Amino acid sequence: MNNCPNTIEVCFSPRLFGDIMTRGDYIVVLVDILRATTSICTAFENGVLRILPVDSLGEAKAMKERGFLVASEQDGQKLDFADFGNSAFNFTSEAIGGKTLVYCTTNGTRALEIAKPAKKIAIGAFINLSALANWLESQKSNVVILCSGWKNKFCLEDTIFAGALAENLLGKAGFESHCDSAVAAIDLWHTAKNDLLGYIEKAAHRHRLKRLGLDDVVPFSFQIDQTDVVPVFEEGEISNVKLLSNENH
Amino acid sequence: MNNCPNTIEVCFSPRLFGDIMTRGDYIVVLVDILRATTSICTAFENGVLRILPVDSLGEAKAMKERGFLVASEQDGQKLDFADFGNSAFNFTSEAIGGKTLVYCTTNGTRALEIAKPAKKIAIGAFINLSALANWLESQKSNVVILCSGWKNKFCLEDTIFAGALAENLLGKAGFESHCDSAVAAIDLWHTAKNDLLGYIEKAAHRHRLKRLGLDDVVPFSFQIDQTDVVPVFEEGEISNVKLLSNENH
């Protein structure tokens, strides 16, 4: 069994996740570059202890009342009761170091719910690309890269990340792919990679964030390998498995 | 109202059709390059009178018993009761000229069902690309290019056609697009267009057809502008609107 290569599939929308044909155990890499998964990686880089994702505003509000720090937004806007919106720049060491953060977003948390049949769910962003790829290599498991999209629609920024990660994994021993989505994502990554910020000017969500005044985080979100954290969702919470594994040694 | 540009959206899977955000009237272009929409265009080029799409094998069989010519396949294989499978090469002038054809396929007909909220549903393939684009220009309507995919999964061959058509339309007056799927499809079309057959070697369905011995039609399916037919589905049947419009003059 361990001699068979592990497969890589790319899923362009949570709506398509049920059609993914991966057999057996697989790890999902959840991607929401603008902005949830970039923000989560940033929070772990800056020392957050754990993140509790919730999928409803009511639950987020209840957690706030129980004394947790809460990041919550709707359609890109921070909600009044919350401590933070969804920008990575909120999650400084001073604000979240050593603490537990409750996290609720429009897209990301719902995709997390959909991916729950997976063995593990890892959080992927350009800022932790190589660390994530190395961890995935160590897991000897099939991989499904799940793009959150925008309201279930295909989105460019998640897709080019999926292409970058798929290409990185296919360059390692033990992976193969027979998935048209992976081919397309890798080709789009090649089209984009020499000028990522220029390319992403074509993305609808980049302009949506601009209209909302929330696009200050865009350049940071496309900087590759800014952190070696690997946030993984298991048993209701996200923790940094890279850190845990270091602590075990 | 007529001064506003018409929008172009690309939908990578029938599963995503419900998330398309087009407002108002729109025409759907149905795409299943390998092989349904290529075959339908070929049948009209060779003089079929009309095509009646059906979405179940039972219905196809009942139509055969009523004396119709029937094309029907399942997972790429012609069914025993049918006159034809799904290959364009079956639809010669001798076989279907002047006749009514009942058509049932794995993917294409189901996508047709899903697209029924549209004002009209046109049949798109590389072989009728320019004729279709010119007809769409004359319609002054929003356009949704619906890729049939394979069992609701994203597929490369439909996507690069969507890119070719979207680019063609954006080169005409009166169209605009704010859709990440259209951007991606156009970029993939650019990656593929100088060696379409070479590129399509990367597509999973191309190899699926090869294993089934059904890939003789592949080179033909990527030849651009072999016919000026524009098959359109309205009121339960597909007819060639280009021909009808010529007859009206």
Using the Cβ of A170 and the Cβ atoms of chain B, whether some distance falls under 8 Å is answered with no
pLDDT tens readout for residues B212-238: 888 889 999 999 999 999 999 998 899
Lowest average pLDDT, out of A105-109, A146-150, B182-186, B188-192, goes to A105-109
Taking an 8 Å cut-off on Cβ atoms, the answer to whether A153 and B188 are in contact is no
Give me the pLDDT at residue B61, please: 94
Taking an 8 Å cut-off on Cβ atoms, the answer to whether B16 and A202 are in contact is no
Q: How many CB pairs under 8 A join A and B?
A: 81
Measure the CA–CA gap between B14 and B27, rounded to whole angstroms: 15
Residue B209 inside a domain? The answer is yes
Using the Cβ of A178 and the Cβ atoms of chain B, whether some distance falls under 8 Å is answered with yes
- Answer yes or no: are the C-beta atoms of B229 and B243 closer than 8 Å: yes
In the predicted model, is pLDDT for residue A141 greater than 50?
Answer: yes
Give me the pLDDT at residue A249, please: 41
Residue closest to A144 by CA, chosen among A32, A21, A28: A28
Q: Give the gap in angstroms from C-alpha B182 to the nearest C-alpha of chain A.
A: 10
Which of the four pLDDT bands, split at 50, 70 and 90, describes residue B245?
low
Interface of B with A in 4-43 (CB under 8 A): 12-13, 15-16, 19, 21
Which of the four pLDDT bands, split at 50, 70 and 90, describes residue B208?
confident
Taking an 8 Å cut-off on Cβ atoms, the answer to whether B187 and A183 are in contact is no
In the predicted model, is pLDDT for residue A247 greater than 60?
Answer: no
Q: To 10 degrees, the CA torsion angle through B84, B85, B89, B95?
A: 10
Which of the four pLDDT bands, split at 50, 70 and 90, describes residue B248?
very low
Measure the CA–CA gap between B169 and A103, rounded to whole angstroms: 42
pLDDT tens readout for residues B8-21: 999 999 999 998 87
Residue B195 inside a domain? The answer is yes
Residue B49 inside a domain? The answer is no
Residue A13 belongs to a domain with what CATH number?
Answer: 3.90.1560.10
Q: Give the gap in angstroms from C-alpha B187 to the nearest C-alpha of chain A.
A: 7
* Chain A residues with CB-CB distance to B12 below 8 A: 12, 154
Residue B168 inside a domain? The answer is yes
Taking an 8 Å cut-off on Cβ atoms, the answer to whether B180 and A155 are in contact is yes
- Answer yes or no: are the C-beta atoms of A29 and A144 closer than 8 Å: yes
The total of other beta-carbon atoms located within 10 Å of residue A47's CB is: 18
Which of B152, B159, B187 lies at the smallest CB-CB distance from A16? B152
* Chain B residues with CB-CB distance to A154 below 8 A: 12, 16, 180-181, 184
Residue B203 inside a domain? The answer is yes
Q: Give the gap in angstroms from C-alpha B47 to the nearest C-alpha of chain A.
A: 35
Residue A158 inside a domain? The answer is yes
Mean pLDDT of A199-219: 86
Residue B144 inside a domain? The answer is yes
Give me the pLDDT at residue B229, please: 97
Which of A155, A183, A204 lies at the smallest CB-CB distance from B156? A183
Using the Cβ of B156 and the Cβ atoms of chain A, whether some distance falls under 8 Å is answered with yes
- What is the per-residue DSSP string for B182-215? HHHHHHHHHHHGGGHHHHHTT-HHHHHHHHTT-G
Give me the pLDDT at residue B1, please: 45
Residues whose CB is less than 8 angstroms from the CB of residue B195 and which lie 6 or more positions away in sequence, other chains included: none
Taking an 8 Å cut-off on Cβ atoms, the answer to whether A204 and B178 are in contact is yes
Which of B152, B155, B181 lies at the smallest CB-CB distance from A154? B181
Domain containing A112 equals 7-37+106-236
What is the predicted ipTM?
0.93
Q: How many domains does chain B have?
A: 1
User: How far lies A155's CA from each of A204, A209, B133, B147, in Å?
Assistant: 8, 14, 25, 16
Q: Higher pLDDT residue, B164 or B25?
A: B164
Residues whose CB is less than 8 angstroms from the CB of residue A235 and which lie 6 or more positions away in sequence, other chains included: none
Taking an 8 Å cut-off on Cβ atoms, the answer to whether B183 and A205 are in contact is no
Residue A192 inside a domain? The answer is yes
